[in-house]
Structure 1
Amino acid sequence: MHRSRWKLFSLALGLLLLLAACETGSNRQQQPNPNSESSQQSDQPSGEPAGGGTLNVAYPANPATLDPHLTTNQATRDVARNIYEQLVTLNKNYEVVPQLAESYEISEDGKVYTFHLRKGVHFHNGKEMKAEDVVASMEKWLSTSTQGQANLQGAKFLQADEYTVQLTLQKPSLVALYVLADTAPFPGIMPKEVIESAGPEGIKEYIGTGPYKLEEWKTDQYVHLKKFADYSAVDEEPSGLSGKKYAYLDDIYFRYVTDESTRVAGILSGEYDVAFGVPFDNSDQIDATEGVSNYFSPGGIVAYVFNKKAGPFANQKLRQAFNTALNNEEALTAAYSDSRFFELDSSLALPSQKDWYSTAGSDKYNLHDIEAAKKLVAESGYAGEEVVILTTRDYPEQYNLAVVAQEVLKSIGVKSRLDVYDWPTVQERRKDENNFDLFAVSFATRATIHQYPFLDSKADYPGWTNSPEIDRLLDQIQASSSIEEAKPLIDELNRVTWDYLPIVKIGNIQNLVAIRDHVKGLDDLIGPILWNVSISR
């Protein structure tokens, strides 16, 4: 969605307003700060949305913490990104650009990153952000976050001067900046004092530099964010998570509504302005209701994950047989019902991830060739073992994909059964290679393909990839000096993945959000973007 634009006033109305201003005297700013708590509709720059108002968001899950360093949980991410900012971030094409850093340089050996901080950026407590705050924040993130520990082992942040920070790596890494720009767990910058007072469970004060500050958090009820009047915006066009951030709204409430039907009823009645986690089945009802619309945002990828450590799918030929027989479009339709909710695509990355997207290997995607699949079954030496498909009814799309998998296996002469549990039990049982052979699951979009756990042999992710060739390519991509140098390796990685088949990517999926028509400017990049949102009533 794009920000709404005010229509130009007619000449006659403009003259009347001019006369009124002359009669009363005018001390108004010609270009007021939209973050100002006192800004009103008449004070907005020409062409800008009106400021003010409260946005009520119906959200399906409570955050366990608002410390963005500690968790990949979406409930934390979606609130915390309004409070905290990072050294670097992602634009709409998932490219890394500066945020709290004004600029950065990389040494010739690729091991030292020098970040020059923006001056005059203030925290919500009034303190100016300086290098000591960045170093303290980044060192905490490195020591506590899964992404820091997995991708930047041995890295060190040091203060060069009051507004300069250096990151030193043990070895060059193409993915280092992408990890710093990642969205969960993300390295939000906080005052040094907040870091020093943090305990094992995380920080005790929630103070950042973002366009909104934490006003109140009532567990299981709501998080109340308030406009930060002294927010320091960059002077660039908004793009994804980067660029200028306007805090048009006075207040944002994340209201935690765990029941789907209650969220839907609330958005339809106007109790809520935006509702997340809306079931796909309600899309037609939303379309038919005046004043509310469907909004679709990228939801990542959905895949079948094979157990490659034990059981029938430890045989690569049988994995290839399943993939060859699969009709991806039919599987996606069975799970998501409507083509608005999915996209056929073979790449490990989304099309919008320009640095990482590749169509290599697409010749092995969506084949639906039953006879060729039966030949691969014979070559695999399959001896009639029963394939166990692990699934849950807690997520209907996962269950429907499991049913599709069973039909695919039946069509090529492979026996199977569904083992159905609640979602926590599925997560527990899939830790043991003796409990399953296949499950369907979705993966949220990540800043780099390296962060997908099903690729790396060193990651102890259920399915247990063990491919020296994939490991080699991941290492070579990481060691590349530029994306341009890495592109042929990214292509090769996609081809090798479609041959080895740690997973079968089924396609890209969408999230469904319901939004009242008076809400303008909502955007999304790995989660909702609520700055630049305004309300027109």
Structure 2
Amino acid sequence: MKMKAYSLLLLLFIVTIGLIGCSNDSDSENGNEKQDDGSTGEETEAETSGGTLNLSIGQQPNTIDPLVTTATATAYAAKPIFETLVTVNENYEVVPMLAESFEESEDGKSIIFKLRKGVKFHNGNEMTADDVLASMNRWLEMSQQASASIPGAKWEKIDEETVELQLEKPSSIALYTVAEQNQVAAIMPKEIAESATEAGAEEYIGTGPFEFVEWKTDQYIHYKKFDDYQSRTEPASGLAGEKKALVDEIYWNFVPDESTRISGLISGEYDISIGVAHDNVKQIEENEGIQPEIWTYGKELLIFNKQQGVFADKNMRQAVNAALDFEGVLRASFGDEQFYELEHGLFTPEIVNWYSDAGKEMYNQQDPELTQSLLEEAGYDGEEIVILTSREYPHYYNAAVAVQQQLEKVGVNAKLDVFDWATLLDRRSDPELWDIFFTGWDTQVIPHGYNFLDSKAEYPGWTNSPELDQYLEDISNATSQEEATAIAEQLQEEFWDYLPLIILGLFKNTDGYSEKVQGFQNFIGPVLWNVSVEE
């Protein structure tokens, strides 16, 4: 059977990253200085600094087993411990991690993963194909994304160093699904994977650069450097490439109160604080020795109820889209422009395999004449529009207020219904109770990660588009990335026509960190390898 070898692509990737490292001095998104990966083999003083990294975060996870939940708190806490067969680089391209290489069959129904030799678990045992098989079979059972994207898939052991993913039909998104960072396909010892229950694994043992030590409820998770960690040698990129445990220990402290996290950052008790309100960034900037890390989290979305009410009519949805000043809404939501960005795409430009300009002409139109024409076509006669919102998330609430005011200016009768967030989540499941609500969506690596596109997902708003469903299926069945990318462009064009929701733009989260910390960055959450702390 003819195979498409990955080795050449891997070589090209390494060369490309090297060239980028030579031609760029800084990270274009986060403004972090790139670390010199070096080719001399000599470690800098910072790289051998050791010591302890103290991090504070507001949310405590229910588990550190990433297969049990889609919660961000678990995904973040699991990242230093667990690794996957493949992962994504800074361009969100799939590259090997625990796999040495992978090959796809010509018919697209098989992917063979050659495993790296000498990789050890934190218990000292070497990773084998049996461990991988047990872990991946558990992932198939537990992962929502796996069941939706590659139904009927099977894993088989070829030999002690090789496993195979068998697909019922060709899938351009199978590798992305294995690399997914939501319910991540963590590789753990066979006995732990097979004994795990629905509540999770009994032990947290992976192959990552840090190993789990203890979890003191409501206090901290303690990690330590894994001395036998076997790193890849390619330059670090996104979640891929070289990983170095440059500190001896990490304390992942649970600090629900933000002011306490900031005070601890200022005093030096914490080296990094995850989750800083935009209003408090100036406080960090004004304190010597600490600085903010502002990074793109995802999209600010206006969701339409398409099941019933005025927005069941596409013309009415398009009328709202034509009326709004998106930058005005984002400014009201986030204040300073450093915390938001105008962007029409389902994906950002960094996600090179999926980004498209399709539909850009429909974005941020601010066209009063078109608005009135569409309102007339929809037969709008002053019906009340209910905007569901909550003050618990100020940027959603501020967006709701701004949209209400802008709609009233074009003659749309809009009313705010304000509830606590838990009540909002309950009410949005009833199509009789609302017409618009606001939410955010974090970075996805494939179109299928956006549930609001899929009629079968029944996400609140209730998309019902045979065209979007067909494009999603066609992307899955594509036999090459080039074909899948072209179909994704058509999908995005259809998205802006059908308009299940409005992408208002990108919004950014903020963390704070000490200037003693070197190499810290966010990529789908905090990355703590290749990070050192000066004494």
TM, length-normalised to structure 2? 0.92
Question: Alpha carbons of 1:358 and 1:5: their partners in 2 closer, same or farther (altered >3 Å)?
Answer: closer
Pick from 128, 136, 139: which aligns with 1:138? Answer: 136
Measure how far apart 1:5 and its partner are: 6.8
Deviations along 1:482-514, one digit per CA (max 9) or x if unpaired, are: 221223222211111111111100001111111
Report the counterpart of residue 319 of structure 1 in structure 2. Answer: 317
Report the counterpart of residue 52 of structure 2 in structure 1. Answer: 54
Report the counterpart of residue 294 of structure 1 in structure 2. Answer: 292
Report the counterpart of residue 439 of structure 2 in structure 1. Answer: 441
Deviations along 1:347-373, one digit per CA (max 9) or x if unpaired, are: 000111111111110001011112221
Report the counterpart of residue 171 of structure 2 in structure 1. Answer: 173
Give the count of matched residue pairs: 503
- The residue identity in structure 2 corresponding to 1:107 is S
Report the counterpart of residue 274 of structure 2 in structure 1. Answer: 276
- The residue identity in structure 1 corresponding to 2:213 is E
Report the counterpart of residue 365 of structure 2 in structure 1. Answer: 367
Measure how far apart 1:46 and its partner are: 4.7
Q: Is the 8 A contact 1:5 1:48 kept in 2?
A: no
Gaps of at least 5 residues in structure 1 are 7-29, 32-43
Q: Is the 8 A contact 2:517 2:534 kept in 1?
A: yes
Q: Is the 8 A contact 2:46 2:534 kept in 1?
A: no
- The residue identity in structure 2 corresponding to 1:287 is E
- The residue identity in structure 2 corresponding to 1:149 is S
Q: Is the 8 A contact 2:299 2:505 kept in 1?
A: yes
Query: Where does 1:428-467 land on structure 2 (aligned, <5 Å)?
Result: 428-467=426-465
* Alignment partner of 1:471 is 2:469: yes
Query: Where does 1:262-411 land on structure 2 (aligned, <5 Å)?
Result: 262-411=260-409
TM, length-normalised to structure 1? 0.91
Report the counterpart of residue 247 of structure 1 in structure 2. Answer: 245
- The residue identity in structure 1 corresponding to 2:482 is E
Paired with 1:314 and 1:4, the residues of 2 have a C-alpha distance of 51
Moved over 4 A (4+): 3-6
Query: Where does 1:49-88 land on structure 2 (aligned, <5 Å)?
Result: 49-88=47-86
Report the counterpart of residue 533 of structure 1 in structure 2. Answer: 531
Pick from 207, 219, 222: which aligns with 1:221? Answer: 219
Report the counterpart of residue 6 of structure 2 in structure 1. Answer: none
Deviations along 1:207-256, one digit per CA (max 9) or x if unpaired, are: 00000000111122111111000000011100000001000011111111
Measure how far apart 1:50 and its partner are: 3.0
Paired with 1:454 and 1:294, the residues of 2 have a C-alpha distance of 32
Question: Alpha carbons of 1:5 and 1:347: their partners in 2 closer, same or farther (altered >3 Å)?
Answer: closer
Paired with 1:242 and 1:4, the residues of 2 have a C-alpha distance of 14
Instruction: Name the SS for the 1:469 alignment partner.
Output: helix
Paired with 1:213 and 1:407, the residues of 2 have a C-alpha distance of 52
Q: Is the 8 A contact 1:300 1:509 kept in 2?
A: yes
- The residue identity in structure 2 corresponding to 1:122 is K
Instruction: Name the SS for the 1:253 alignment partner.
Output: strand
Paired with 1:151 and 1:348, the residues of 2 have a C-alpha distance of 18
Instruction: Name the SS for the 1:433 alignment partner.
Output: coil
Q: Is the 8 A contact 2:210 2:225 kept in 1?
A: yes
Question: Alpha carbons of 1:495 and 1:128: their partners in 2 closer, same or farther (altered >3 Å)?
Answer: same
Query: Where does 1:25-40 land on structure 2 (aligned, <5 Å)?
Result: none
Question: Alpha carbons of 1:224 and 1:107: their partners in 2 closer, same or farther (altered >3 Å)?
Answer: same
Query: Where does 1:414-433 land on structure 2 (aligned, <5 Å)?
Result: 414-433=412-431
Paired with 1:349 and 1:366, the residues of 2 have a C-alpha distance of 17
Paired with 1:342 and 1:110, the residues of 2 have a C-alpha distance of 40
Q: Is the 8 A contact 2:114 2:162 kept in 1?
A: yes
Report the counterpart of residue 232 of structure 2 in structure 1. Answer: 234
Report the counterpart of residue 93 of structure 1 in structure 2. Answer: 91
Q: Is the 8 A contact 1:111 1:168 kept in 2?
A: yes
Report the counterpart of residue 25 of structure 1 in structure 2. Answer: none
Measure how far apart 1:291 and its partner are: 0.4
Report the counterpart of residue 105 of structure 2 in structure 1. Answer: 107
- The structure with more radius of gyration: 1
Q: Is the 8 A contact 2:89 2:240 kept in 1?
A: yes
Instruction: Name the SS for the 1:225 alignment partner.
Output: strand
Measure how far apart 1:381 and its partner are: 0.8
Measure how far apart 1:2 and its partner are: 3.6
Measure how far apart 1:48 and its partner are: 5.8
Report the counterpart of residue 188 of structure 1 in structure 2. Answer: 186
Paired with 1:128 and 1:410, the residues of 2 have a C-alpha distance of 65
- The residue identity in structure 1 corresponding to 2:209 is P
Paired with 1:524 and 1:236, the residues of 2 have a C-alpha distance of 19
Q: Is the 8 A contact 2:447 2:488 kept in 1?
A: no
